[in-house]
């Protein structure tokens, strides 16, 4: 089976972009990053992609009169690259329902909370303010409703009494960098899939706890 072709969309520093590129570089990872796309010409993540040898594309949302026009340009580039899965990694644009529906089951996002709790922005501050004791992150398929698509995987992080929004965000980010590649591996190996409104796993994943197994380094 050919490796899954992955595009990563980002708007900023690209820490999850780096985590995905690092994971895919492992010898046994069944995917390749064929394109990194930013909607911001000066996004720091572009340098990460360049240093990693990943082809880049900048599609500046300011060049388009509507979200539909922007999404149409994005869709064209993704199809030209023959992409199998699109991973959103800090991509700060709301995609139109038409685009989301066209890429249903192929469009994946990571969010820094245990969805369905704390959707939207300013997540870490809101968790601290609310007094929750357990936080975390979620990888999910994208739906037309923001941060509401079927869940692929989650990782939990305790909220410490001494936590600030910044320290909590840093610990959650460590888990994001592990969880996102693990979930992508399951999709690339067809061990997880979108089925209706849920994501069933292959029985071997549940039996072995494979989602938490780290990849081996490429030689």
pLDDT tens string 52-74: 999 999 999 999 999 999 999 99
CB 186 within 8 A of CB 211: yes
Residue 214 has pLDDT above 60, yes or no: no
Please check whether residue 135 is in contact with residue 175, taking contact to mean a CB–CB distance below 8 angstroms. no
pLDDT digits (tens, 9 = 90+) for 79-110: 999 999 999 999 999 999 999 999 999 999 99
pLDDT at 131 exceeding the cut of 90: yes
Tell the burial category of 76 from Cβ atoms under 10 Å away from its Cβ (0-12, 13-18, 19+).
exposed
Q: What is the CATH number of domain 4-111+138-153+176-212?
A: 3.40.50.170
Active site residues: 111
Q: Are 90 and 12 in contact (CB under 8 A)?
A: yes
């Amino acid at each position: 089976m050919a490796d899954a072709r992955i595009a990563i969309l980002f708007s900023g520093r690209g820490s999850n972009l780096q985590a995905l590129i690092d994971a895919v570089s492992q010898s046994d990872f069944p995917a390749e990053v064929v394109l990194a796309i930013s909607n911001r010409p000066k996004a720091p993540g572009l340098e990460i992609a360049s240093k990693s040898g990943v082809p880049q594309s900048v599609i500046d949302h300011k060049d388009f009169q509507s979200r539909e026009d922007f999404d149409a340009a994005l869709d064209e580039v993704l199809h030209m690259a023959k992409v199998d899965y699109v991973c959103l990694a800090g991509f700060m644009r709301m995609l139109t329902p038409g685009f989301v529906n066209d890429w249903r089951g192929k469009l994946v996002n990571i969010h820094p909370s245990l969805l369905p709790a704390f959707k939207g922005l300013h997540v870490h501050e809101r968790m601290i303010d609310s007094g929750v004791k357990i936080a975390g992150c979620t990888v999910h398929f994208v739906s037309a409703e923001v941060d509401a698509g079927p869940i692929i995987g989650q990782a939990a992080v305790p909220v410490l009494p001494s936590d600030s929004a910044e320290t909590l965000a840093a610990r959650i980010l460590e888990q994001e960098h592990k969880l996102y590649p693990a979930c992508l591996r399951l999709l690339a190996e067809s061990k997880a899939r979108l089925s209706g409104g849920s994501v069933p796993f292959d029985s071997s994943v549940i039996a072995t706890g494979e989602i938490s197994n780290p990849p081996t380094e490429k030689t």
